[in-house]
Amino acid sequence: MNKRQLIDKLSLAPHIEGGYFSRTYSSDLKADIPADSKPRCLLSSIFYMLTDDSPIGHLHKNKSDIIHYFHGGSPLTYLILYPDGTLETKVLGADLDKGQQLQLIVRGGCWKATELETGEFGLISEAVSPGFEYDDMELAEQTIIKNQFPHAWDRLSKYVR
């Protein structure tokens, strides 16, 4: 399938980070998470796709751990900025001989950006535990990243809105 067919078949909509998404699951089970003021679903999952017309998932961080699963299309490059300032590049894709990964875990509290560098689309799923809430996501601001991680600014600047 091409990107337009996948967007239609999977009912994907534009995501505030960039790319397209569709929530596919939210657990009916709820739990009180000590740091939160309301009960949260234990797990949520989405489809997420970057395309040649929306190739960047902008720099953001989440409170929850997220597991990313590659489904198809072209590989996606992830930049992960850890709280200690370490910057790591990982590629989610199917070519294991080239060091690509089918699955990638990004811990809560890490900044991440994603890019489709070639091809028409890259399709993944994400599983988030505890379940995703928009209140748990922080989009990067230029002043925060420049001030806290000046050594990484040149590499990350294009991913900050």
Which CATH number goes with the domain that contains 16? 2.60.120.10
Burial (0-12, 13-18, 19+ Cβ within 10 Å), 131: buried
Which residue intervals of 11-158 are DSSP H helices? Answer: 142-148, 153-156
Q: The tokens of 92 are what?
A: 């989610």
**What's the structural domain count of the chain?**
1
| Cα distance between residue 23 and residue 13, in whole Å | 10
Q: Quickly state the pLDDT bin for 12 (edges 50, 70, 90).
A: very high
Spacing of C-alpha 45 from chain mean position = 12
| pTM score | 0.91
| Cα distance between residue 33 and residue 41, in whole Å | 10
Range of the domain at 73: 3-159
3-state helix, strand, coil split of the chain in percent (to 5) is 20, 45, 35
Largest Cα span, the chain: 45
Q: Which of 29, 28, 73 is nearest to 47 (CA)?
A: 73
What's the pLDDT tens digit per position in 104-147? Answer: 999 999 999 999 999 999 999 999 998 988 888 999 999 999 99
Question: Which position has the token pair 């590989």?
Answer: 75
| Cα distance between residue 21 and residue 123, in whole Å | 10
Sign of the Cα torsion 66, 157, 57, 3 reads negative
What's the pLDDT tens digit per position in 74-108? Answer: 999 999 999 999 999 999 999 999 999 999 999 99
Q: The tokens of 16 are what?
A: 């505030």
Q: What are phi and psi of 146, to 5 degrees?
A: -60, -40
